[in-house]
Structure 1
Amino acid sequence: MFNGQLLTAAASGDAAAVREAVTEGADLEARDSQRRTALLLASAADHVEVAEILVAAGADPNALDAQHDTPWLVTGVTGSVAMMRALLPAHPDLTIRNRYGGISLIPACERGHVDYVREVLKTGIAVDHVNDLGWTGLLEAVILGDGSRPYQEIVRLLLAAGADPDLADANGVTALRHAEEKGQREVAEILRRA
């Protein structure tokens, strides 16, 4: 009974109801029909207070759902720095991969989440991790980005963190060549200087 309450409350951001369900003995790792835990539901909806309650109670930040997402991986998609910080005390696995073989840094680079990229790089996450498409965060920022200021800043942050600008995609194309082909002049110049 309390498991359903926990999942519903976590998804809606009802911290009081989450606290009550946890106190009443709800299973922190109970799953909904898509195998999402309360912590994953809270992470996806950016309910930070709920996540903090669940983390303090011992919820798993690495619990995989049916889509191969975890509470930690979802922070890279949403770009929520507050949620990332809420999950860090639970010691998430920074190497866990999503359904595309990427770590949380990669979707953040793709989506232009500058603040998230800046903060997650401080965790020691692998800056040159290659996903199943053969792309790193740097390649995703160029290939799927539009060359605007947020993407320029992400490229700078990645390079400052030690990203290899010469690491090519599966077809042997570097980030610089992609930037040139896409007409991303500013990004190309940043990469040339690197």
Structure 2
Amino acid sequence: MTHAFALVGLIGFLAFSGGAALAQTAPTQTELSAYRGLHAAAAEGSAESIRRLAQAGADLNARDGNGRTPLHVAAFQGHGTAIGTLMAAGANPGLLDNQRYDAVTIVAVRDDVPTLKALIAAGASAKLVTSIYDGTALIAAAHLGHDGVVRELIRAGAPLDHVNNLGWTALIEAVILGDGGPRHVETVRALVEGGANPGIPDRNGVMPLRHAETRGYEGIIAILRRAGAR
């Protein structure tokens, strides 16, 4: 591995590991306790309160101090029924909070398959560009090895070969920011079986297979080679 290759990998890891997992800002207990109206109903997961407030004309897309809508709050809390009720009433699932995350990316990072299914069933998109890294929910989930989420996002039409502003696809992220363990192996398998292109290199021209070989990730290497990666 060259010095430049190692440096880029380190910088990318420090940047995007924070981007996918740490830059999301869930409501604190203090914020949850202070919520009123739809934010409070979403935090509690109360579909009945959501319906009542929506019928009374409450702003479905109101923002808290961090730009979170009631839908974002419901996503952070894992309240799938509340999500369905909010969206049926007209809540916009495409809005981003102050860290540029939508509800789908929030639950992808939470590794919350049931809530993701609720969002997708209610009409949320898996295709949005989110975060300061111009990534996607799929890239965030692949990075973290959330293989079940990855499969759901692929079924929902997530862009398989989107390249973020670090120059990485979901497949590259699964390799270089993963640990090579079972969940990252299954993530790579899901991506390849879903049609992700193993021939897209990073901005230094390094292919996913080369990254896997450098790290000794035998399970991932086998999958990529069977897919014709070089």
Q: Distance in 2 between matches of 1:171 and 1:75?
A: 31
**CA drift at 1:98:** 1.3
Matched, 1:193 2:229: no
**In structure 2, what is the Cα distance between the partners aligned to 1:97 and 1:33?**
22
Shift of the alpha carbon at 1:151?
Answer: 1.0
Residue of structure 2 equivalent to 1:176: 209
Deviation of 1:90 (Å) = 4.3
Residue 93 (structure 2) aligns with = 61
Normalised TM-score (structure 1): 0.91
Aligned residues: 192
Are 1:55 and 1:89, in contact at CA under 8 Å, matched by a contact in 2? no
Q: Is the aligned partner of 1:141 residue 2:177?
A: no
CA distance in 2, matches of 1:82, 1:134: 30
Alpha-carbon displacement from aligned partner over 1:119-170 (angstroms, at most 9, x marks no partner): 2111222111111111111111111111111111111111111111121111
Q: For 1:32-181, what aligned pairs fall within 5 Å after superposition?
A: 32-99=64-131, 100-181=133-214
Alignment RMSD:
1.7
- Mapped to 2, the partners of 1:101 and 1:38 lie a distance apart of 23
Moved more, 75-84 or 175-184: 75-84
Partners of 1:186 and 1:87 in 2: CA distance: 32
Query: What corresponds to 1:28 in structure 2?
Result: 60
Identity %: 43
* Contact 1:79–1:108 (CA under 8 A) maintained in structure 2: yes
The offset of 1:26, in angstroms, is: 1.3
Counterpart amino acid of 1:78?
R
Unaligned 5+ runs, structure 2: 1-34
Q: TM-score, normalised by structure 2?
A: 0.78
- 1:101·1:131 contact (CA, 8 Å) conserved in 2? yes
